[in-house]
Amino acid sequence: MFLDAGSSVSAERIEAAQRTERGWRIRALDAQGLYRALVESGIDAARIQKEPQGLVVPIAGDDHAAALLAQLVRAGIPVVAFAPAVGDLEHTFLDLSNGLDAEVADPGTDGEEDR
């Protein structure tokens, strides 16, 4: 259960937050081949982050992650690690928090309706 401003968050909103784009860390025995395969798969090269633990790429949802992994394996990339860069709990919380910014009342009002 997640709380937002003292109220529980709906299951639909949690599910939507879990499907949003997040970073996935991928490591392969052939780092250059992995990079090339990611770009060839349609991932914007500017969005691929190089880290000591591997490459981090934005992927929206587990279904897209599974499809990318299958594509990399079919391409002969020796993938040795493939996982979200942050856990489900943290990702969902951060996404819900970011969504909250759009729902906050206009700072020029006191949150009450005009009378």
Domain definitions of the chain by residue range? 22-97
- pTM reported for the whole predicted model: 0.63
User: Tokens in use for 29?
Assistant: 């025995």
pLDDT in the model for residue 25: 96
Largest CA distance in the chain: 67
35 half-sphere exposure, CB direction, 13 A CA radius = 12
pLDDT class of 46 with cuts at 50, 70, 90 = very high
pLDDT class of 103 with cuts at 50, 70, 90 = very low
CATH class, range 22-97 = alpha beta
Report the helix count and the strand count for the chain, using DSSP H and E: 4, 6
Distance (Å) of CA 37 to CA 28, 52, 59, 83: 11, 19, 15, 17
